[in-house]
Structure 1
Amino acid sequence: MNTFELIVPCHFGLEAVMKKEILDLGYEVSQVEDGRVTFIGDAEAICRANIFLRTTERVLLKVGSFHAETFEDLFQGTRAIPWEEYLPKDAKFWVAKASSIKSKLFSPSDIQSIMKKAMVERMKKAYGIEWFPENGASFPLRVFLHKDTVTVALDTTGESLHKRGYRTLTSKAPITETLAAALIMLTPWKSDRILVDPFCGSGTFPIEAAMIAANMAPGMNREFLSEDWKHLIPRKCWYDAMDEANDLVDLSVQTDIQGYDIDGDIVRAARANAKAAGVDELIHFQQRSVSDLSHPKKYGFLITNPPYGERIEDKKNLPELYKTIGERFAELDSWSAYIITAYEDTERYFGRKADKNRKIYNGMMKTYFYQFLGPKPPRKREDRREER
C-alpha cells in the first residue's frame, strides 16, 4: 500500500498534544511546525487519523511542495504535480483555501484561479480530454504559502473534525470540541479523577472528557469526504478503522464528571448533546451558579472556559466573577484548576499566580490557559506493589 505525507493542523501552542496523539496511533512524525504536524502513513492511516484524532480540524494529504515567487512559478509548480495519480477524470476539484505568510504571492483569489488552470492543463494532457465534467467525488485543495514555499494538500476530511455530530445546541461562546479535547489532554486528568466545569455551556468539556474516559473515538458518528476516494482508499480501510473504534469503546467506566451552568436552558441543551454523543450516563449536569461550587472529595480538576467579556457591557462584571471563582476554588481540598480565558487580569482576581500559563490562539483570539496546580494524590497500593 502506498505511503503518504499527511498534514494535521492544530491550534497554535498545542502542537505537542497533536504529536503525542499521532505517536500513540503508531505513526512516524516527520515534522512539527507552528500550527501543524506532518506524519507518514498509508491509506489506512487516513481513515484512522480522521476517526481517532481528537485535536485536529482535518487530515490533509500532501501532494506537492515547491518554491514560487511569481504567478508563473505557481502555475508551473502546480502543473508539475502528478494530479492524475490522485484525481480521476470525473473528479470535482478546486482550491478551497489558500493562505500566505511572508510570501511574495498573497492574493488568495489569484492563487486559487491560477492553480485551478494549471491542474486542468496537467489533466488534459494526462487524460487526453479537453473538458472535465466534475460530477464525481470531491477533492478540495488547501494551499499554504510560507516564505515563498508552496505546500499543496488534498483535504480528506470535508466538514471540520470539530463537528463530532453531537453538538446540535450551543451556548453563546462555545469552545470547539477539538480545542476542549486538547486542553483536557494537556492536564494530568484521568478517568478515575473528578472533573468539574462550572461554566459548562453546551457541555463540551464534560462531553469530551467522557469520550476520552470511555475510549470513544471522536469521529465514530460522522462521515468523511475521502470515503468516496475509492481509487486511493479501499472501502475495507474504513470498515476496519470503524470496527477498531467500536471495539475500543468502554461505557462501563466509572467517572465523576460534572457540568454546571447558571442557565437552565443551557443545562438542558448540554444534557441533549451528551445523549447525542452517547455519554450521558457518564456526566452529571446541574443548574448551579459558580458561587455554589463545592465538592466533598479531594484531588479534583476544575477545567473551564469562563466568560471573559466579549461585549463591553460584560467587562465590568469580570473582577467579581473571577474573584468568586478563586474563592470557591480555594475551598476545594487539594484540587487543580485549568482555566482558558482572554481575560488578562485572571490571576489578580483569582487571588493566586498560575503555576503555568500557556498562550493559545483560539481562532484569531489570543487566550491564556492558566494552570493552578494542586498536590498529587497518594499513589495506590496496587501501583506500589507492582513496582516491587
Structure 2
Amino acid sequence: MFNNLNQEINLVAFLPEGLEEAGAIELKSLGAYSLKSFKCTLTCKADLACFYRLNLQARLPFRFLREISQFLCKGKESLYCEIQNACAWHEWLDPSKSFRVNVSGVNNQLRHSHFTALQVKNAIVDLQREIWGKRSSISIDSPDVCIHLHLHGPHATLSLDSSATSLHKRGYRSAMGLAPLKENIAAGLLKLSKWNDSINLVDPLCGSATFLLEAANIARGIAPGLNKRFLFKSWPDFDIEIWKSEKSSANSLFSPNKKLPKLIGCEEDNHIANDAISNITNAGFLKEIDIRKGHFRDFEFPKSPGLIVCNPPYGKRIGNEKQLESLYIELGHFFKKKASGWDLWLLSGNPRLTNFLGMKCTRRFPISNGGIDCRWLHYEIY
C-alpha cells in the first residue's frame, strides 16, 4: 500500500515560546531537515525512521503534527467537500477507530473553532456512512486518530497528531505543586544553561523536583517517549520493523550504571517535599536525587561548585508580590554568602522582584511559562 523507503513526511513541531532555536538544534540532531522556525512552532521534513525517532527522543516539543493535505477553504461547503477529498479516508480512518478534531485559526467565513470542527467531523462521518454504512465514534480524551485543521485566511492544512496527549508529560510526575514547571520547559532551560552530566546541580526551591528529574533523565539517556501511546501506530503506513529498530536504538541510549553528579533539591513545605520524593521514586531516581526538607537558608552546598537552577514564585499564580520582596532579598543574600563560585540560572516572571536579589545578570533568554512572559537569567556568583 505504502512505500516507506525514503518516504518524506512534512511535520510541525509545537514548542514553548523562547525554545524555538534550541528545539531546532535538537530536531536537526535527530535527523530532521528543511527546518523553518516560527513563533512556538518549527516546520521540518523527516523520513519515517526520523519521525519515529523524534517522537521517542525529542525532549522539547509539546507535539508533532503530520501534514496530510493542503487546500483552499472559502466556507463551510468548501470545507466539507475538501475534507472528504483530502486523503484516502478508507485507509486512514475506518469506523472501528474513534477520532477527535482540533481546530486552530480562522478565516472570513469560519470564525468559530467549534463550528469548524463540527463541519470536519460531519464530512468524515458522512463519507464513512457512504463507504461502510456506519461511522466512527468521537473520543475527546483517548481517540485512535487525532485530526487537526489549521486555517490561515483562505488556506487550510489538515494534519494528524502523533499523540493524543502532550509529549511534555513524561509519566513520572504524579504529584505536582500549585504552578508546576512543564517537563519540556525544564529540559529546554537546562539546555540553554549548558548544564551537562559532569556538573553538580542544585535547586534550592525545588517544588516537585522537575528540574532535577529532567536532569537525571538527560544524564542517564532515558528517551522521553519510550512509554507513550502513539497514535501513528494505527496509521496505514506504520512500519513495524522501522519502529522496532528506532525503539531499540532509543532503548540503547539508557546508561543505568552511569554515575551522576550531585542532584540536590531543597523544599521547605513538607507536603511538597514528599510529593517530590514520590515523583523521584516513580522515576527510579531515589538514590540519585537528594531532596532535603527545610528552608534554603540552612542548605549547605557541595564543596565542588556547579549550577544552581531556581524557579521562585512571581507573585502572579503563587504568592503576594509585596510579600515576596523579602524572599528575593533573602535569596540574594543566601547565594552571595553560600554559593561563591557557582553559576545561578533563575526563571523570572517578575523583573521588579528580581531586582531585590541585588545581583547583576550576565545573560538572559525570553521564555513563556504557562502564558507568563519570563526571563531565564544567568548570574555568576562571586
TM over 0.5: yes
Tell me by how many angstroms 1:187 deviates.
Answer: 1.1
Match of 1:215 among 214, 221, 242: 221
Tell me by how many angstroms 1:83 deviates.
Answer: 3.7
In the comparison of the two structures, how many residue pairs are matched? 372
Query: Any idea what the Cα deviations from partners look like across 1:37-57, whole Å, max 9, x if unmatched?
Result: 122223333322222111111
2: distance between equivalents of 1:123 and 1:373? 62
2:160 alignment partner AA: L
Change beyond 3 A, Cα 1:356–1:186: same
CA contact (8 A) 2:99 2:136 kept: no
Matched, 1:244 2:262: no
Change beyond 3 A, Cα 1:303–1:146: farther
1:3 alignment partner AA: E
Matched, 1:160 2:166: yes
CA RMSD of aligned residues (A): 2.6
CA contact (8 A) 1:52 1:219 kept: yes
Matched, 1:369 2:376: yes
Tell me by how many angstroms 1:278 deviates.
Answer: 2.2
2: distance between equivalents of 1:363 and 1:146? 25
Tell me by how many angstroms 1:170 deviates.
Answer: 1.2
Structure 1 equivalent of residue 135 of structure 2: 132
Change beyond 3 A, Cα 1:353–1:64: farther
Identity in percent:
27
- Three-state SS of the structure 2 residue aligned to 1:92 is coil
More displaced 10-residue stretch of structure 1: 63-72 or 201-210: 63-72
Query: Any idea what the Cα deviations from partners look like across 1:189-244, whole Å, max 9, x if unmatched?
Result: 11111111111111111000011111111122332233333x32123333322222
- Three-state SS of the structure 2 residue aligned to 1:308 is coil
Query: Any idea what the Cα deviations from partners look like across 1:59-95, whole Å, max 9, x if unmatched?
Result: 2211122343433443344333114375142353545
More displaced 10-residue stretch of structure 1: 187-196 or 274-283: 274-283
Structure 1 equivalent of residue 263 of structure 2: 257
**Unaligned stretches of 5+ residues in structure 2:** none
Structure 2 equivalent of residue 119 of structure 1: 124
Structure 2 equivalent of residue 378 of structure 1: none
Match of 1:288 among 270, 288, 294: 294
CA contact (8 A) 2:31 2:50 kept: no
Query: Any idea what the Cα deviations from partners look like across 1:290-341, whole Å, max 9, x if unmatched?
Result: 2234425354211121112235862232111111112222231222211123
2: distance between equivalents of 1:42 and 1:86? 20
Matched, 1:343 2:367: no
2: distance between equivalents of 1:329 and 1:67? 57
CA contact (8 A) 2:104 2:149 kept: yes
Tell me by how many angstroms 1:254 deviates.
Answer: 2.8
Q: Which residues of 2 match residues 65-80 of structure 1 at below 5 A? A: 65-80=70-85
Structure 1 equivalent of residue 94 of structure 2: 89
2: distance between equivalents of 1:271 and 1:148? 51
The normalised TM-score by structure 2 is 0.88
1: distance between equivalents of 2:148 and 2:343? 40
1:132 alignment partner AA: R
2: distance between equivalents of 1:3 and 1:313? 49
Match of 2:364 among 347, 357, 360: 357
CA contact (8 A) 2:178 2:318 kept: no
2:134 alignment partner AA: W
2: distance between equivalents of 1:124 and 1:69? 25
2: distance between equivalents of 1:116 and 1:12? 30
Structure 2 equivalent of residue 380 of structure 1: none
- Three-state SS of the structure 2 residue aligned to 1:241 is helix
CA contact (8 A) 1:83 1:122 kept: no
Structure 1 equivalent of residue 19 of structure 2: 14
Query: Any idea what the Cα deviations from partners look like across 1:250-302, whole Å, max 9, x if unmatched?
Result: 13233111111102222222122112112333211111312234425354211
CA contact (8 A) 1:46 1:59 kept: no
Structure 1 equivalent of residue 187 of structure 2: 181
Matched, 1:308 2:314: yes
Tell me by how many angstroms 1:362 deviates.
Answer: 2.1
Structure 1 equivalent of residue 197 of structure 2: 191
2: distance between equivalents of 1:140 and 1:22? 22
CA contact (8 A) 1:297 1:333 kept: no
2: distance between equivalents of 1:361 and 1:273? 24
CA contact (8 A) 1:159 1:224 kept: no
Change beyond 3 A, Cα 1:83–1:324: farther
- Three-state SS of the structure 1 residue aligned to 2:201 is strand
